[in-house]
Structure 1
């Protein structure tokens, strides 16, 4: 057994703490004593270590993931924009085809310019002509640049021909392909239309913005009109220049270019004549219409002249007139009618109507003789053609006729006949203020309205034919209503004067009777209501004359 060790007394070395004294072990009395946070009275917060190894790796992963998603979004968005641009260009190429001989940039600019000018698209008739005109001007620079799309263009004389006020005349483009020439003609005529709409506009050279001349601030315009709300501030006169060239520059370029067809030159001459009439220069406009007649008769091979160039009357014994000759003669007759020269206008209109009624009928096509079963049998063929059209790029349309041959009596030409009858009705109504003459004018107008509405309701009428028929029907209905309204007014006044009588006896019974022209006026209102479904989109420029007034 292990012996017990003697007990030792351990002395208490720490002194006694007096009452209410602080506890010694909580005081920092010994420098070698470690500092314990949970025993310290200090309010300092413990410093934490945030950027650990795990956190660094997490941040790297998040940054890499964010960069990858950002790259995917940007690449995907860019690809979507490219796809949308490609789909838009494909749609525009089918809506506004362009010559394949042009470069890709020129074709793209051509489609964009035509889209900006499109009245039936999203623009809804509000065309930015400053932008459209600049697009056509840029296209002309590319088409006339030998290093881009103008290879092979030749001056008609060494150094070109300069005309005072017009500038350089047209080129010789006879060696270029037909599609190239036709596209070049469309660009020139588009630039002429833009020049007409920008006539009287100025361009602020400091901001490259077009403004009407009446808002310019300067000495030449002491009372400038305010700009519309939201538009740019009005320019100063010293910073402005003409916004576009004069329209005659482009019309004369067409008329003096060698290589255009007869129809293209006649159409340009007629458009130029209409512009000169708008600018209140009737003598110059008449000369332009006569120039169009000269162009239209230049290709005639008949030994006898079909038209008297002095009077504009067609000779029925000289043969059938060409489409160009009918258009030029009609424009000349309208010119005489608008300027109240009815004695010269009426014989021209009558000769044109006689010539049009003697034109050959439109030949019957196989499609018009198909029965419904045969049409259903061709459903799959039409479906295959649709798929083929989506896969194969569209080709430029085939060239239209040059207008040197007589037209056929298709729906468009029949509506042209109705338009001529409308003019004849106006002249008969306005020229002789007799009851018989006015009723004859009404009869011509009624028949014109019936023909136009009948042709417009027919199936298979193309777009040009529908536009012509709509214009004729609108003008015919308007003239018919104007004539009948005037006749009803006179009838009412005569009835009221007759109803007064001697001492006013029997007046009430006469007033209650509805007259003939009042009843016909109600018929016109019903015809207008019935025609609303086929006149949903109003025509832009009805061929109305200004000499018939109420």
Structure 2
């Protein structure tokens, strides 16, 4: 075994220095700055830079991006699905409100429903109709329905190449080979375009901005004093940038009248609408010719001469007239009344009223169901509601073409009340004698009674209710106007009598003022107006609008 050597300690040659002290030669060197300062020679006096993008940090960022993308995709998908569901529900509701033919393309049907909804804003939603937008919608529909590549397959020209009429344009097509729903929808589109053209008469379109304006706001030589545009509207256009906003109404009315395939009522309604437009434009001669054209259409299939072509009076010995004949003769009488031909209008109204009173009464439907049947009927009603919600609605059947006499139901009785209103108005406005005025007032009272009685009936449909409400409103307005005139005359006469008594000296100062006959009837009219407010929607005791043809 080898012996261990003892350990030897080497003593420190250099003494210990306190910490953080520079060496003597380094201190002297740094103090003199005789050499450049290099980073690797300088003491470490800066903190080390940390590593931010580590492996864990990368993994966390990837997870967050993936989660954000997933949530964004899910939310946008749900939003898109909800939008599609809402759009589908809206289109289903609009289809039930404005049915469209099934054979039209989906885009055409959607545009038809949207355009009809825009036009319906004035009646149902009490808003302002954007007729420029509505008219453009109907114009687009006409182009699609007449395009052989879209929905116009099978349309034929009436003559080779069609007929061009100055100021009107191209005449109608031959649509007799199309189905009845297609023809009915096409007719609604043409009539809608004609209504839009009437409202846009006198409007212009700024070609640069594609915005419609009334003609009286255009800045140009032909309008030296332009009216200011409404607040919030776009600035007024210049005359050199404008063009007519829409075609004239006769373009579409004549398109209907020259189209082969429309039935008698459709062509007659178009002729009457065109004639009313001509009356509005103060061209009575042209309007009279159009009314005669409508009467010729209505009487084309009549076996006998049911209307006197010279006077327009219905022949009592020719049988019961059709609904189209009654409508055409009534419109002709209104035309004569508007143009102050009272002696011509009154016999026509009387003949129409006589013909309407000779109509066959509509059968009365009475409910004879038992309680068990009523329970079954309730279950059947619930089942039909569920089925209607799940199944698409059927296109409604065609309405009456007006070639047969109507039945004397609530709507026809309200039409009779309207004729009575016209007769009373003419008798009162003729002012031949005091008796004539009282006769006119009596006719008006009876018309109001008939209209209010029908409105209070339980079995009255929507169309009949609308007719009765119009008749009641006009009748109450005429009645109030007539009584107010007579009460004023009565008051003036009483004033003259009072002056005469005072001048003769027989007193009169202590006489009690008693309301006269017409002053008392004014109170009756107010009470009837208040009572009718539940049907007309006017405030209690409020005035009823006067939309007569003679009183202004």
Structure 1 length normalisation: TM-score?
0.91
CA distance, structure 2, for counterparts of residue 412 and residue 406 of structure 1: 13
Could you tell me how far 1:545 is from its partner in structure 2? 3.5
Partner of 1:545: 548
Please give the alpha-carbon distance, in whole angstroms, between the structure 1 residues aligned to 2:10 and 2:128: 116
Measure the CA separation in 1 of the matches of 2:153 and 2:261. 15
CA distance in 2: counterparts of 1:453 and 1:24, whole angstroms: 116
Distance (whole Å) between structure 2 residues aligned to residue 445 and residue 344 of structure 1: 20
Separation of aligned partners in 2, 1:29 and 1:86: 92
Q: In structure 2, do the counterparts of structure 1 residues 28 and 406 end up closer, same or farther at CA, with 3 Å as the change threshold?
A: farther
Structure 1 Cα separation of the partners of residues 108 and 385 of structure 2: 27
Please state whether the residue corresponding to 1:210 is helix, strand or coil: strand
Shift, 1:225, TM fit: 1.2
Contact 1:269 1:289 survives alignment (8 Å): yes
1:380 aligns with 2:385: no
| 2:34 alignment partner in structure 1 | none
Pair 1:523–1:65, CA change in 2 (3 A): same
Aligned counterparts of 2:468 and 2:409: Cα–Cα separation in 1: 12
After superposition, give the CA deviation of every residue in 1:71-100 in whole Å (9 maximum; x if it has no partner): 111111111111111111101000000111
Q: In structure 2, what is the equivalent of residue 54 of structure 1?
A: 56
Q: CA deviation at 1:12?
A: 7.9
Cα distance change, pair 235–511 in 1 and its aligned pair in 2 (3 A): farther
Residues in 2 aligned to 1:357 and 1:278: alpha-carbon distance in whole angstroms? 31
For the Cα contact (< 8 Å) 2:122–2:129, is it kept in 1?
Answer: no
Mark the CA change 1:13 to 1:207 in structure 2 (over 3 Å): closer, same or farther. same
Q: Aligned residue for 1:355? A: 355
1:367-388 Cα distance to aligned partner (Å, 9 max, x none): x555676444411111111111
Distance 2:328 2:8 in 1: 147
Match of 1:421 in 2: 420
| Structure 1 segment 167-246 matched on structure 2, within 5 A | 167-246=169-248
Are positions 1:521 and 2:522 aligned together? yes
**Map of 1:289-368 to 2, 5 A cutoff?**
289-302=291-304, 305-365=305-365, 368=367
The 5 A counterparts of 1:392-407 are 392-407=391-406
SS in 2 for 1:211: strand
3-state DSSP of counterpart to 1:126: coil
Q: CA RMSD in A?
A: 2.6
Name whichever of 87-96 and 164-173 sits farther off: 164-173
Change (3 A) 1:505 1:370: farther
The offset of 1:338, in angstroms, is 1.1
Q: 1:42 to 1:374 in 2, by over 3 A?
A: same
Query: How much does 1:479 deviate?
Result: 0.3
**CA-to-partner distance for each residue in 1:148-169, whole Å, 9 max, x for gaps?**
1111111111111222211111
Query: 1-side partners of 2:192 and 2:510: how far apart?
Result: 63
1:434 is displaced (CA, Å) by 2.0
Structure 1 residues 11 and 385, CA gap change in structure 2 (3 angstroms): closer
1:482 is aligned to 481
Write the distance in 1 (CA, Å) between the matches of 2:415 and 2:512.
Answer: 42
Contact 1:116 1:123 in 2 (8 A): no
Who is 1:440 aligned against?
A: 439
Q: CA deviation at 1:221?
A: 1.3
Specify whether residues 513 and 81 from structure 1 end up closer, same or farther in structure 2 by C-alpha distance, changes over 3 A only. same
SS at match of 1:203: strand
**2-structure distance, mates of 1:433, 1:121:** 40
- The answer as to whether partners of 1:270 and 1:328 remain within 8 angstroms in 2 is yes
Q: CA deviation at 1:401?
A: 1.1
Aligned length: 528
Given that 1:338 and 1:545 are in contact with CA atoms closer than 8 Å, whether structure 2 keeps it comes out as no
| Residue-by-residue CA offset, 1:263-288 (whole Å, 9 max, x unaligned) | 00110011000100111111100111
Q: Does 1:457 align with 2:452?
A: no
Instruction: Please give the per-residue CA displacement for 1:309-350, whole angstroms capped at 9, x wherever unaligned.
Output: 110111111100111110110011111111111111111111
Please tell me whether the aligned partners of residues 322 and 403 of structure 2 are also in contact (alpha carbons under 8 angstroms).
Answer: yes
Please give the alpha-carbon distance, in whole angstroms, between the structure 2 residues aligned to 1:121 and 1:334.
Answer: 25
> What secondary structure does 2:273 align onto?
helix
- Equivalence for 1:70: 72
2:502 partner SS: coil
Match of 1:139 in 2: 141
Q: Secondary structure at the match of 1:452?
A: helix
Distance 1:400 1:295, change over 3 A: same
Three-state SS of the structure 2 residue aligned to 1:425 is: helix
Take 1:547 and 1:412, find their aligned partners in 2: how far apart are those partners?
24
> How many Å separate the matches in 1 of 2:272 and 2:435?
35
Change (3 A) 1:11 1:195: closer
User: Compared with structure 1, are the counterparts of its residues 14 and 263 closer, same or farther at alpha carbon in structure 2 (3 Å cutoff)?
Assistant: same
Contact in 1 for aligned 2:455/2:468 (Cα 8 Å): yes
Q: Per-residue deviation at 1:24?
A: 5.8
Q: 1:12 to 1:475 in 2, by over 3 A?
A: same
**Residue in 2 aligned with 1:263?**
265
Unpaired segments ≥5 residues, structure 1: 17-22, 32-39
CA change 1:412–1:373 in 2 (3 A) is: farther
Which secondary structure state, in structure 2, belongs to the residue aligned with residue 264 of structure 1? helix
The 1:8/1:146 distance shift into structure 2, 3 A limit, reads closer
Structure 1 residues 194 and 15 mapped into 2: Cα distance closer, same or farther (>3 Å)? closer
Q: Deviations over 1:215-247 (max 9, x none)?
A: 111111111111111111111111111110000
Q: CA deviation at 1:365?
A: 3.0
Structure 1 segment 274-285 matched on structure 2, within 5 A? 274-285=276-287
Partner SS, residue 302 of structure 2: coil
Can you list the C-alpha shifts for 1:414-465, whole angstroms capped at 9, x where unaligned?
1000000001111111113422111111111011001101111212211111
Equivalent-residue separation in structure 2 for 1:59 and 1:414 (angstroms): 80
Shift, 1:544, TM fit: 3.7
